[in-house]
Structure 1
Amino acid sequence: MKSKKTKMILLGTVAVLIVLLIASNFIYITPNETLLYKAQQYVTYSKADWENYEENKRILANNPTSGNIQTEVAAVVSPDDIYSLDTSRVAPEVVASELEKIKKANFDRLVEAKIRPDHEDAQAALIRHTDGRLTDVIINQKINIKVGKCYDNPNTDGNYNCVSCMILLYNRDKKDWQEAPDGDNFLKPAYDFYQPSKGDIWEAKDLTMRIPFDYDLYKKFEGKE
């Protein structure tokens, strides 16, 4: 009987301690310290820990922070977001988003370029822009660059002129366009082409202006079955 009573007392004591332990984690002695944290400090801290603790308190006291600070998170926009997509070849959930981008792009304000690179000009410019990587694709994968409709781009960066155009990869063997080079896809679907001075050769750079997807270009070079 006595043993049973002792056991009950021990169980009761343990239960009370557990409740106190849990409660101590919600009892704040200071704005940043709970009773449980304080107890752990006294049990585990060495002299060096206490010195470091006091130093941190001093630094915080000298550099107070407002409790109302708000952190603004900027929306991350992918660089690829500037390229228009073929809405007939994307997932249904992407179509609505793409149509909204087209609506905001104000394509009706674009002016079709009268001075523009031809296929050979665009291909040569992209060979230089890719530091010769395109040469291997042209020779070994039998690919040529075809350029579509171009639009005047006011972002000339001090050059004589600048136009934005879609390009297409045309497979000479298959007599059809293909999505990307075999292996590493280092090409984009559209580029800016510019002439540093009047009559100069065309150079290429990354696209800086959103332009419509060139359906006519793809239709022109699609394989005929």
Structure 2
Amino acid sequence: MMNTKKIFKWTGIIFGLILLFLIASNFIWLNERENLLYKMQQYVTYSKEDWKNYETNEKYLENTPTEVAQTSVASAAVTDFHPYNIGFFTGNEKTEELKRIKDAHFEKLIPAKNKPSDEDVQAALIRLTQGRLTDVIINQKLNIKVGQCYENPNTEGNYNCVSCMILLYNRDKKDWQEAPDGDNFLDNSYDFYQPSEGDIWEAKNLSIMIPYDYELIKKYEKK
């Protein structure tokens, strides 16, 4: 008899959850990148800051032409221009990296006076990654921070172009991290450009060598 009561009890609970799920599906708005379970998780776990980031990122995506993002992602750099922390190298690899840095003649780089803000860079990378970055920003509580930018002559017909190193800042841990948890689809540096004067910043693959931004790391490391 007790077993029968337990069965009825659990059947009732499961039925109630299914009913609640179906009711919620009629009242909760979803976009094409979300499912109902994900949305319900948002309502249960999100803080005010998480909702603010979510709404900001959704606005970025709404104003982004899909074909522009696809074109940007499709282009791939042949040469590795990305900067690396020299402290991670040893032996011959360190010697080769030091030579690569010397041959790059960083002293000729011109610091950019007109550069994108953290928000500009984050929005540009959301568009470049076709929204993949949005989930990282929300679910992993990460934000993009940008460091020193340098003038880049490879404007490709755009109004201007700069090259900058970026990092991911964890809002919960108050510390930077090198890559998102899981699939690492981000580089540590990109070109950012404005198609015309005063236009929004867009992102593309890095096209010149720039130095590793130790000051950026120091600024956002946990104190």
Residue 144 of structure 2 corresponds to 145
Distance 2:79 2:169 in 1: 22
Structure of greater Rg: 1
Name the structure where helix makes up a greater proportion of residues: 2
Q: Percent identity?
A: 65
Residue 82 of structure 1 corresponds to 81
The answer as to 2:149 corresponding to 1:156 is no
Residue 209 of structure 2 corresponds to 210
Alpha-carbon deviation of 1:204?
A: 0.3
- Larger relative contact order (Cα-Cα within 8 Å, sequence gap ≥ 6): 2
The answer as to 2:198 corresponding to 1:196 is no
Corresponding residue SS for 1:115: coil
Contact 1:148 1:214 in 2 (8 A): yes
Distance 1:201 1:157 in 2: 16
Residues 38-61 of structure 1: per-residue CA shift (max 9 Å, x gap): xxxxxxxxxxxxxxxxxxxxxxxx
Distance 1:178 1:80 in 2: 25
Residues 67-126 of structure 1: per-residue CA shift (max 9 Å, x gap): xxxxxxxxxxx9463111101123444211110000100111100000000100000000
Corresponding residue SS for 1:120: helix
Distance 2:153 2:78 in 1: 20
Residue 182 of structure 2 corresponds to 183
Residue 101 of structure 1 corresponds to 100
Kindly tell me the number of residue pairs found equivalent between the two proteins.
Answer: 147
Change (3 A) 1:199 1:120: same
User: Which AA in structure 2 matches 1:144?
Assistant: N
Residue 43 of structure 1 corresponds to none
Q: Cα RMSD (Å) of the superposition?
A: 1.2
Alpha-carbon deviation of 1:215?
A: 0.4
Residue 174 of structure 1 corresponds to 173
Distance 2:132 2:191 in 1: 18
The answer as to 2:201 corresponding to 1:220 is no
TM-score, normalising length from structure 2?
A: 0.64
